[in-house]
Amino acid sequence: MTASIIDGKAFAAGLRARVAEHAAAFEQAAGRKAGLAVVLVGEDPASKVYVASKGKATIECGMNSFEHRLPEDASQEALLALVDQLNADPAVDGILVQLPLPKHLDEQAVVARISPDKDVDGLTPISTGRLALGLPGLVPCTPLGSLMLLKDRLGDLSGKDAVVIGRSILVGKPMAQLLLAENCTVTIAHSRTRDLPDVVRRADIVVAAVGRPEMIKGDWIKPGATVIDVGINRLAPAEGQAKGRLVGDVDYAEALQVAGAVTPVPGGVGPMTIAVLLRNALVAAHRNAGVALAEGAL
């Protein structure tokens, strides 16, 4: 048996197209475009690339993109003042502070300062609490994108045994909450879990978000299970190569021989993250402007 490949790139393209359609309808109803503000502190090359791609995608979907750059040595007070300014700006529906921040800044305090109604990353304490309580709110992009891929592949997730490997606030913990809300039986595993392969073998759904290249082997996976690989790791380059290849947290070649369906790396969960960010910004815009959005539209 060879697993079917879950095409996150194609699903993300469809989601972005729906966001663009609803963004145009929002503009007509609200008399303004939805707006997403991204804050970049410093000159981290990877962060600069991410910010540029987010801005381009926002504009392509028919929303306003507001980019704010602060120098590497910006003070905590200056960054918090900018967040306050964006919280108060009615043209801004979503705020994303690009992480990681320079080491002298307090990331937790900065994230907590973002209005939960504009928290498109879903990382503020209030957003986290809303998710845990099952209340409407904005949810972290990568886990929500992973859930969309699972539901598209499997339909109703009720009663399925799910294992989430990794317990970060970015992926592991919110992923577990989302799966619980879908009536899965959820285990959060991590690097200190005893007999981790045996724990994983019980699962109908495996979400790997541990940050270790090709850690989850094919013989860890229950035959026919659905595997969502959130990891993205660059291996050391082979001789004669300029760059090492990108791999996930799952041994993809082995998983293909056992799983029912699996996401590739790249081209699986990665494209979903920006697509869901755009979706979150538009959902926030509808709520902030008091414009109705049909349930399940995005």
Number of H helices, E strands in the chain: 10, 11
Residues ≥6 apart with Cβ < 8 Å to 157: 150, 151, 179, 182, 183, 184, 205
Catalytic, out of 54, 118, 160, 173: 54
Whether 44 is a known active-site residue: answer no
How far apart (Å, rounded) are the C-alpha atoms in residues 298 and 284? Answer: 12
8 Å CB contact between 16 and 56: no
| Cβ-count burial 107-143 (b if 16+ within 10 Å, e if not) | eeebbbbbbbbbbbbbbbebbbebbeeeeebbbbbbb
8 Å CB contact between 239 and 200: no
Catalytic, out of 33, 93, 98, 118: 98
8 Å CB contact between 171 and 139: no
Whether 121 is a known active-site residue: answer yes
149, with CB counted inside 10 A (0-12, 13-18, 19+), is buried
Whether 54 is a known active-site residue: answer yes
Catalytic, out of 119, 121, 229, 249: 121
Joined together, the tokens standing for residue 108 give: 């937790």
Q: Which residues are catalytic?
A: 54, 98, 121
